[in-house]
Structure 1
Amino acid sequence: MAALAPPVAAVRTAVRHALRGLDGTVLVACSGGADSLALAAAVAFVAPRAGLVAGLVTVDHGLQAGSAERATAVASWAVSAGLTPVEVATVVVSGEGSPEAAARDARYEALVAAATRLGASAVLLGHTRDDQAETVLLALARGSGPRGMAGMPRRRDVDGVALLRPLLDVSREETRKACAALGLSPWDDPHNADPAYARARVRSTVLPVLTEALGAGVVDNLARTAHLLATDAAALDEIATAALEGARRPDGALDVTALERLPDAVRTRVLHAWARERGARPAALSHRHVAALDALVTAWRGQGPVHLPGGLPVARRGTLLR
């Protein structure tokens, strides 16, 4: 028996860890690129041996010529690989916000809807260690703070569906080598090399320059930074959840006296969570909004209300935020 190629083994091991504790049906999100194709092949091998039903969803964003044909080709391959159920989800990308964000939102909405419809408990996504490093750099450049620099989570639950990223410890090069070892021909998305997109510029220009200047460990170190910050952020979020309950009054207002006693990192998290709870749109809620709320607590000079996304005014009345 021929020895298993190390990149194939690495991807399968990552999938095996991600599938632990799951049951029923799981889906792979696959574009046909090397990362998601290697992931899909690994799931097709590992899932049945773990007693799971494994299917695949490929999303056609309709943004490029031939996208429908590519989606159909991915679906056909998935059926031949033993994955079932297999679906092509066609989405309409809105013109709101950046094209990257709009396409991402449409894709995740379609994936969660497919999982719900098919009774799948999880969707596996093909983001790699390189993707994580790019995410950290983009967050750093945008001043996103620890939460943004924590990068993409290994697991995020949306409407009862777990979105899993098994390959965050696997390199992009390993997924390409895994595809080659398995005789798979991945598709290279031209958007990944289009300098119009910030992530493409980071991938093609910034990371290579950093690697040349600082050494080959840059990608690993950036991904490790994301993991460490994610761990810290989770702990702080847990503390902030308890602090929010302690500061909340029965009518929903927040007690300024209780907030003043909190460390800055906890208090700002409490204000962020409270603003979302009261109706502020999460995607539009920025550091500027939270800083203005914080000023109502820590730098109160009789200033007027803070207006949060969604048209929600927050004002201080005595020792309460309403």
Structure 2
Amino acid sequence: MSPRFPDSLNRARRAVEAVVDPAGLTLVACSGGADSLALAVAAAFHHQRSSGPLAQARVGAVVVDHQLHPDSEAVTATALRQLESLGLEPLISLPAAVDPSSRTGPEAAARTARYTAFKQALARTGASRMLLAHTQDDQAEQVLLGLARGSGTRTLAGIPAERGPFRRPLLGLSRAETEEICAHAGLTPWQDPANADPRYLRSRVRTRILPFLQAELSGSIRESLARTAQIAAEDAAYLEQEAKQVFAALLEDPGAEGQLRMDLAALHRAPPAIRRRVIALAVVAAGGSAPSFERLGAVEKLLVTEGSAGPVELEGHLSAHRGTRESPDYGKLVIVPRLN
């Protein structure tokens, strides 16, 4: 262990202290890489402390084997040994069933399989929370990816610090700082070759785009992008809360079975940022999935009475239309299941 105690470890410990379950079991998701090992080091400090508000806290870890790398079994075994040396308990290992034929692409398929394994680990151990090791660098990459896709405020908000049982306490630390923590603890992180594989868009952002922006635009580009994510997250949370209130006020008693109806004129008067969110909430409430920007725009056109009354096809086998003058739904935006 390095004799110099890094400030990054103090910051990591404080960040973990704020999110660990003070009276139950918290799991650290560990891949064996520098970020997750550094998170495990910080979390181990809070495992079964002798006194204080976290005296009842317990911290274990789960290692998910994606089985995508020829040495994945050895990588998992090494990660478990290093976690054991930190005193974390319980330690479990789970395979991730990655669907190679998924149309979402290899990165999204691996993520889906990983979170399925995470939920299995929570259920198996009875843990109430799981800590994920996303860093400031990951946040900066996520914001750039959102910008490239032309996404809205919620996507620009990047990786959430908290969602359901998952907590991400290291969003304020850089990847270099997690490497510093591992060096101090005498741990040897695994270097995932996929992180530098140019076939993956995130890898290209990490190894080419961000270094270019740092050299040509600003040495603090990562911090700036992470700050943008924080501001966007706060803005998005406010707009979403407002939209929920407007949606509740506009939602009318259902007509025919499976219908969802809202007053057309009142929805049209809502500011665009609220209006689009209300429509998205309505689609999800009707059993669909969050609509794309293009689908939202198509539904918005229904609000103008001079244009087409629809229907507009939506994700989740739904459609939206404007009630015509001859219809009992006149003056309403109606979302219904598609017949075919």
TM-score range, shorter chain: over 0.9
1:307 corresponds in structure 2 to 313
Measured after TM superposition, the shift of residue 86 of structure 1 is 1.2
In the other structure, the counterpart of 2:95 is: 90
Q: How big is the shift at 1:109?
A: 1.6
Letter in 1 for 2:9: V
Counterpart residue number, 2:83: 78
Aligned residue number for residue 62 of structure 1: 67
Amino acid at match of 2:308: G
User: Which amino acid is the alignment partner of residue 71 of structure 2?
Assistant: G
Higher gyration radius (CA): 2
8 Å CA contact 2:135–2:171 kept in 1: the answer is yes
Q: Distance in 2 between matches of 1:265 and 1:75?
A: 47
Q: Secondary structure at the match of 1:187?
A: coil
Within the alignment, does 1:281 sit opposite 2:289 as a pair?
yes
Q: Name the CA distance, whole Å, in 2 between partners of 1:311 and 1:198.
A: 30
Q: 1:268 aligns with which of 276, 279, 291?
A: 276
> SS in structure 2 opposite 1:279?
coil
- Spell out, residue by residue over 1:262-305, the C-alpha distance to the aligned partner (whole angstroms, 9 max, x if none): 110001001111111212234xx311111111111246513421
Output the TM-score relative to the length of structure 2: 0.89
Specify the code of the residue in structure 1 equivalent to 2:278: V
| Alignment correspondent of 1:107 | 114
> Residue by residue, what CA displacement relative to the aligned partner does 1:95-144 show, whole Å, maximum 9, x if unpaired?
21111111111111210221122111111000000100000000000001
Cα distance in 2 for residues equivalent to 1:47 and 1:231: 32
Structure 2 gaps, min length 5 = 255-259, 324-329, 335-340
1:208 to 196, 207, 211: 211
Instruction: Give matches, 1:251-266, under 5 Å.
Output: 251=254, 252-266=260-274
Q: Is the 8 A contact 1:246 1:258 kept in 2?
A: no
Aligned-residue RMSD, C-alpha: 1.5
2:24 alignment counterpart: 24
User: Do the aligned residues in 2 keep the contact of 1:29 with 1:58 (CA within 8 Å)?
Assistant: yes
In the other structure, the counterpart of 2:7 is 6
2:65 and 2:96 mapped to 1: Cα distance? Answer: 6
Give me the whole-angstrom Cα distance separating, in 2, the residues matched to 1:181 and 1:4.
7
Query: Structure 2 matches for 1:167-178, cutoff 5 A?
Result: 167-178=170-181
Selected match of 1:292 from 295, 298, 302 = 298
5 Å matches for 1:95-174? 95-96=101-102, 97-157=104-164, 162-174=165-177
Change (3 A) 1:47 1:290: farther
Tell me which amino acid in the other structure corresponds to 2:159. M
Runs of 4+ in 1 over 3 A off after TM superposition: none
Deviations, residues 179-221 of structure 1 (Å, cap 9, x unaligned): 0011010001000000000110001010011001122111100
- Name the residue aligned to 2:236: 233
Counterparts in 2 of 1:22 and 1:316: CA distance versus 1, 3 Å: farther
TM-score (norm 1): 0.94
Between stretches 189-198 and 109-118, larger displacement belongs to: 109-118
Report the CA distance between 1:22 and its aligned residue: 4.3
Task: Give the total of aligned pairs.
Answer: 314
The secondary structure found in structure 2 opposite 1:253 is: strand
Q: 1:299, 1:188 → 2: CA distance?
A: 58
Query: 1:106 is aligned with what amino acid?
Result: A
Counterpart position of 1:36: 36
In structure 2, how many angstroms separate the alpha carbons of the residues matched to 1:320 and 1:249? Answer: 9
Distance in 2 (CA, whole Å) between partners of 1:174 and 1:145 is: 30
Higher mean displacement: 67-76 or 240-249: 67-76
CA deviation after TM superposition for structure 1 residue 47, in Å: 3.6
Distance 2:84 2:117 in 1: 20
Cα deviation, residue 12, structure 1: 1.4
Contact 1:124 1:163 in 2 (8 A): yes
Q: Per-residue deviation at 1:74?
A: 1.4
Choose which of 246, 251, 256 in structure 2 pairs with 1:248.
251
Q: CA deviation at 1:76?
A: 2.7
**Identical columns (%):** 42
